[in-house]
Amino acid sequence: MDKKGFDYTAERLIDDKPERLPNDALFPPVARSSLRLSHYDETGQAHMVDVSAKVKTRREAVASAFVELSDAVVAALPRNPKGNPLEVARFAGIQAAKQTSTLIPMCHPLALSFVDVRAQVVEGGVAIEATAATVDGTGVEMEAMVAASIAALTVYDMTKALDKGIRIREVVLLSKSGGKSGDYRRE
């Protein structure tokens, strides 16, 4: 148990007894079995999940992020002395998707068959959408989310000289397809 009363042992994570978690406002009462995390072994140690027995299928995920910019920063985007922030962000997101397993310890290195990142100026800032696809035994949600996150951070980096109050918001998974868990679409 840690200092805040969280118990991360495997027994705690897979036990079927209902329990209130330390912060009931954030975590309503649920059966412990619904809290099972696949990246923990029977002793509670974090580990990489063995996906070698999983069927290789086409898997795709789409994630998004939003970079909130002032009107002045949006107006200055085309005149950025560092270059086109949207194009640099697009390349950064693509590169980041390919590096996901080096950034997130339990992610599997995947042979990505497709990565696309789009950054578009919209009212209030820049909307980013990242798509990742593979034919493999595990999903590409993290690759899509890392791509969207890094693209958003790159827009920040390219524009921070104009405004330190830029906010990155709403990094979310929009959809996924393929794999055992099936399709998901954010509503």
- 157 catalytic per annotation: yes
H or E segment and range at residue 68: strand 57-68
Question: Which is the catalytic residue, given 2, 16, 157, 183?
Answer: 157
Distance from C-alpha of 74 to C-alpha of 122, rounded to nearest angstrom: 9
CA distance linking residue 135 with residue 111, whole number of Å: 8
Q: How far is CA 150 from CA 50, 68, 117, 119, 132, in A?
A: 27, 15, 10, 12, 14
Catalytic residue positions, numbered: 157
